């Protein structure tokens, strides 16, 4: 969008002057907000140090290969020459094919101006060519370990994507049009939103992703009827109200992650896994984890096991009189479930679990993906110091780190919309859940990162000890169902698959389409993504996929058939529907309960009236 020949009137000049004054005031206030944050804490400084070390290692590798340096410089010069020729033809009105185009999944350059305006077209191509050269350079560096290459690629990608022309006012055609149309009001509004988000951030910026006033847990999300029938310091146990006259005799216990809140499994009725399970005839119980603060700093992995699944099994026996359960677990909740089943097996109580299902669960942490960037020894040591100091990891820091794994979609797109365009975020329940974070207690999180992620000790026979009991996943005879997703960037399926090779009992492995959330929360009526099955479990995950059969739709009915065909949910032994409060446990409060509604500011005693809280 190039400036036209319109001469502004005195009134327009005065209006622009007033907007410039407001922008200046907001900018000055923003600087005052930022200055106290310029000194990073121990954990952040360890990341910056690792970043510097990664670039230093990359520079040394490049210096050892003069031919690669020369080739890279030559290609950059060739790119500039071709761009110069392209620009001459484009500005003269000739139709020319672009030298480079955005990738299929790159949504940053969707505006027509990037294709029709020679000015913006040239800027986009210059940027994309530079990004390609950086990526190719890192790929071709010799003498780097796999971890060094991964870290260097991650940090370089963050810097390159931060430099995208879409992230700046004067080189983003949509923002330029909006600025002219609103006489800069978009920038005034954007700076105000930036300050609000900064006030609700710990490290980096937790951008607002949705209209948080549009949702309330228990009112329009997490509304499947039920009751809290048991609680302790760490969790509340929810028993859901039945929707069928008869239910399976063996109850189903859902063990969700505590890195975020359980209700991603119960967002809306039409995509709620919890409601679907109830409608299939299961007596569903679910662990709702507490949002911990400094007072819970000493809670350990063993505490999560004892006060979570094991305490829940004991409570379920009181509620419905059943001594065994089927377990359905998700993400780190699945890692805990595997630990629990192994612990029960080693203490001769393995029959308390009739079957166990692991959804997007890591047991073998051989390939943590880009999360491994935050688990190098220097970074982990810095995080451990921070955990020791505070007693917990602020969930907003975790959310910011996870967003950087998909920075263009989960950070920069909102940065542009919120702060440059000045738009108010639209209501979206999944993004509401994504920003409704939980803290992580120091005693659990540090142990988990070092012993499981860093050292991969869970797969070692007797590699970890829980309450004096050494556990071995290879001794588990409980029937297991593993479901992973092909595009998962958090629990990569090429690692989750190897967890399925560990138990000695019968194992079914299923691979769903899509990613960590959408591939798991995939209701049958949408008929999306599909899944793959293979009765064999070869030693290599790629060999499994080569022999797998593709199926349309959701994996949920396949799981239900596995439960009923094998008698873990026995259709021949149905019982009358069980209502919460019918057994020995009284109803404490309606679902979803108060634990899941506690926000991080409330837990930490922050002023809810402060901006962004």
Residues with a known catalytic role: 331
User: What does the block give as tokens for 187?
Assistant: 């920038």
Provide, for the chain, the percentages of residues in helix, strand and coil under a 3-state DSSP scheme, each rounded to the nearest 5: 50, 10, 35
Q: Do the bridges between strand 589-590 and strand 226-231 make them parallel or antiparallel, or are there none, so unpaired? A: antiparallel
**Phi and psi at residue 238, to the nearest 5°:** -100, 130
Short-list 200, 312, 332, CA closest to 259: 332
Q: Cα torsion at 552, 554, 556, 557 (round to 10°)? A: -40
| Cis amide leading into 592 (omega within 30) | yes
User: How would you class 265 by CB atoms within 10 Å of its CB: exposed for 0-12, middle for 13-18, buried for 19 or more?
Assistant: buried
Nearest to 257 by CA among 468, 498, 520: 520
Query: What span, in angstroms and rounded, lies between the C-alpha atoms of 183 and 229?
Result: 57
| Alpha carbons 241 and 97: distance in angstroms, whole number | 62
Burial 168-186 (b: 16+ CB within 10 A, else e): ebebbbbbbebbeeeebbb
How far apart (Å, rounded) are the C-alpha atoms in residues 480 and 505?
7
Residue 404 burial (CB count, 10 A) = 18
Query: What's the CA angle centered on 254, arms 250 and 258, to 5 degrees?
Result: 160
Three-state SS letters, 531-569: EEECCCCCCCHHHHHHCCEEECCCCHHHHHHHHHHCCCC
Which whole-number Å values give the CA distances from 160 to 114, 166, 268, 274, in the listed order?
19, 12, 37, 41
Tokens standing for 510?
Answer: 């299923």
Contact between 488 and 519 (Cβ < 8 Å): yes
Planar angle of CA 120, 126, 131, nearest 5 degrees: 125
Q: How far apart are CA 308 and CA 302, in angstroms?
A: 9
On the 0-12 / 13-18 / 19+ scale of CB atoms within 10 A, 559 is: buried
507 Cβ contact partners less than 8 Å away, ≥ 6 residues apart: 479, 480, 481, 482, 500, 501, 537
| CB count in 10 Å sphere of residue 348 | 7
Q: What is the DSSP string of 65-121?
A: -HHHHHHHHHHHHHHHHHHHHHHHHHHTT-----S----TT--TT-STHHHH-HHHH
Give the separation between CA 58 and CA 80, rounded to whole angstroms: 24
> How far is Cα 433 from Cα 420, in angstroms, rounded to an integer?
24
Length of the chain in residues, anyone? 613
């Amino acid at each position: 969008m190039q400036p036209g020949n319109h001469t502004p009137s005195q009134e327009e000049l005065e209006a622009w002057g007033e907007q410039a004054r407001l922008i200046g005031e907001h900018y000055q206030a923003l600087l005052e907000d930022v200055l106290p944050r310029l000194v990073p804490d121990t954990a952040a400084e360890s990341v910056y140090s690792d970043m510097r070390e990664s670039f230093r290692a990359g520079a040394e590798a490049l210096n050892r290969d003069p031919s690669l340096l020369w080739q890279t410089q030559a290609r950059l010069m060739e790119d500039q020459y071709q761009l110069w020729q392209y620009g001459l033809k484009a500005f003269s009105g000739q139709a020319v094919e672009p030298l480079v185009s955005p990738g299929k999944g790159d949504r940053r350059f969707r505006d027509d101006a990037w294709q029709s305006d020679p000015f913006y077209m040239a800027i986009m191509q210059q940027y994309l060519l530079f990004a390609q050269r950086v990526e190719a350079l890192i790929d071709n560096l010799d003498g780097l370990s796999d971890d060094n290459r991964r870290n260097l690629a991650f940090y370089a990608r963050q810097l390159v994507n931060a430099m995208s022309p879409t992230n700046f006012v004067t080189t983003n055609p949509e923002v330029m049009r909006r600025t002219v149309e609103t006489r800069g009001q978009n920038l005034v509004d954007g700076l105000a939103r930036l300050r609000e988000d900064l006030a609700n951030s710990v490290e980096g910026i937790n951008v607002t992703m949705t209209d948080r006033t549009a949702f309330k847990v228990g009112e329009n999300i997490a509304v499947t009827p039920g009751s809290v029938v048991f609680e302790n310091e760490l969790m509340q146990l929810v028993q859901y109200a039945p929707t069928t006259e008869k239910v399976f005799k063996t109850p189903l216990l859902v063990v969700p992650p505590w890195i975020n809140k359980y209700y991603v499994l119960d967002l809306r009725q039409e995509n709620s896994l919890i409601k679907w399970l109830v409608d299939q005839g299961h007596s569903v119980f679910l662990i709702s984890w507490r949002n911990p603060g400094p007072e819970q700093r000493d809670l350990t992995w063993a505490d999560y096991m004892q006060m979570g699944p094991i305490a829940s099994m004991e409570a379920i026996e009181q509620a419905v009189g059943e001594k065994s359960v089927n377990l359905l677990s998700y993400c780190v909740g699945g890692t805990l479930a595997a630990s629990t089943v192994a612990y029960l097996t080693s203490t001769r109580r393995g029959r308390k679990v009739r079957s166990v299902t692991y959804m997007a669960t890591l047991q073998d942490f051989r390939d943590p993906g880009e999360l491994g960037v935050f688990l190098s020894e220097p970074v982990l040591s810095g995080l451990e110091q921070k955990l020791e100091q505070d007693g917990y990891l602020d969930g907003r820091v975790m959310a910011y780190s996870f967003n950087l794994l998909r920075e263009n979609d989960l950070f920069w797109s909102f940065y542009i919309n919120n702060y440059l365009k000045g738009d108010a975020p639209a209501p979206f329940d999944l993004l509401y859940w994504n920003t409704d974070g939980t803290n992580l207690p120091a005693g659990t999180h540090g142990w988990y990162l070092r012993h499981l992620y860093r050292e991969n000790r869970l797969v070692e026979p007797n590699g970890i000890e829980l309450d004096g009991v050494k556990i071995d996943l290879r001794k588990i005879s409980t029937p297991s169902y593993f479901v992973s997703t092909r595009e998962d960037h958090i629990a990569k399926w090429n690692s989750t698959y190897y967890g399925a090779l560990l138990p000695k009992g019968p194992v079914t492995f299923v691979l769903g389409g899509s990613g960590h959330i959408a591939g798991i929360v995939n209701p049958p009526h949408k008929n999306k993504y599909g899944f793959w099955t293979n009765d064999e479990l070869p030693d290599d995950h790629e060999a499994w996929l080569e022999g797998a059969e593709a199926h349309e739709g959701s994996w949920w009915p396949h799981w239900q058939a596995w439960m009923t065909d094998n008698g873990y949910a026995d259709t021949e032994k149905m019982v009358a529907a069980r209502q919460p409060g019918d057994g020995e446990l009284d109803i404490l409060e309606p679902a979803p309960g108060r634990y899941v509604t506690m926000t991080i500011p409330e837990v930490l005693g922050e002023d809810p009236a402060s901006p962004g809280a």
